[in-house]
């Protein structure tokens, strides 16, 4: 609301008004121009000059816009707190020990495999590419396969497949995982819910249970921070 150019234009007396506003935001919205001037120990003319320099016709318009500004700030803060809370709750679960046994078992399986194959589509596909690169950096031969029609050779039975899907119901990913399983590959799935088709066909399943944000039309904005954590947690155990 008060950008750098506005603040630079204020004189010392007007800056006193600004400082008071920032320290008493809620209180100011209920004050008259005279009350504000008296509190800051400046003239009403100084307050009016401040309002005009800030881009308002007068004190009344300033108060209306300032209230709107405060409401927007509250909404933004509430949204930020919600976002942080969701992630904090997940990591509190991690601190309580969830996943640890499964992660140790999965790491043993991945360690013994000759190669690791990541599969997933959309955002999960992007994380699949990240996972393959992350494991490769740890000297574990890994690759990401995007093509749902990729030919699965018999010699791939010594591979471990890490399948990523928020819903666990992405048709192409489920089919790929099923095809790999038929060729005796171990399947590890990372999904948001353990009741999904992908989780049920997997040998090992990790589910993170965060709020699902399915927007329809194949658009899903569910946070993927837990997926990154789980991929890296497996990698750190190799």
Residue that wins the pLDDT comparison between 214 and 145: 145
For residue 212, the 8-state DSSP code is: -
pLDDT in tens, 115-155: 999 999 999 999 999 999 999 999 999 999 999 889 888 77
Would you kindly state where each structural domain of the chain is located, as residue ranges?
4-80, 94-236
Fold classification of 94-236 is Rossmann fold (3.40.50)
pLDDT in tens, 30-87: 999 999 999 999 999 999 999 999 999 999 999 999 999 898 888 877 666 667 878 8
* Contact partners, residue 165, CB within 8 Å, separation at least 6: 120, 121, 124, 173, 174, 189, 190, 191, 196, 198
Predicted structure pTM score: 0.69
CATH code for residues 4-80: 1.10.10.10
- The pLDDT score that the predictor gives to residue 96 is 82
| Nearest Cα to Cα of residue 163 among 147, 149, 145 | 145
């Amino acid at each position: 609301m008060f950008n750098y150019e506005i603040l630079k234009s204020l004189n010392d007396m007007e800056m006193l008004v600004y400082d008071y506003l920032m320290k008493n935001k809620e209180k100011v919205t209920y004050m008259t121009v005279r009350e504000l001037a008296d509190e800051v120990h400046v003239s009403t003319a100084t307050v009016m000059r401040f309002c005009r320099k800030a881009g308002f016709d007068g004190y009344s318009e300033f108060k209306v816009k300032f209230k709107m500004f405060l409401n927007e700030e509250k909404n933004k803060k509430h949204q930020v707190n919600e976002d942080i809370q969701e992630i904090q709750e997940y990591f509190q679960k991690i601190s309580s020990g969830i996943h640890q046994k499964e992660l140790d078992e999965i790491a043993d399986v991945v360690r013994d495999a000759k190669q690791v194959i990541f599969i997933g589509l959309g955002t999960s596909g992007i994380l699949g590419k990240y996972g393959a690169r992350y494991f490769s950096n740890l000297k574990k031969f890994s690759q990401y396969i995007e093509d749902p029609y990729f030919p699965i050779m018999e010699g791939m039975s010594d591979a471990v497949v890490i399948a990523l899907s928020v819903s666990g119901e992405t048709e192409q990913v489920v089919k790929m995982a099923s095809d790999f399983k038929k060729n005796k590959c171990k399947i590890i799935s990372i999904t948001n819910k353990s009741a999904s088709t992908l989780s049920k066909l997997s040998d090992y399943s990790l589910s993170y249970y965060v709020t699902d944000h399915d927007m329809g039309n194949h658009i899903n904005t569910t946070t993927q921070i837990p997926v990154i954590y789980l991929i890296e947690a497996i990698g750190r155990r190799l």
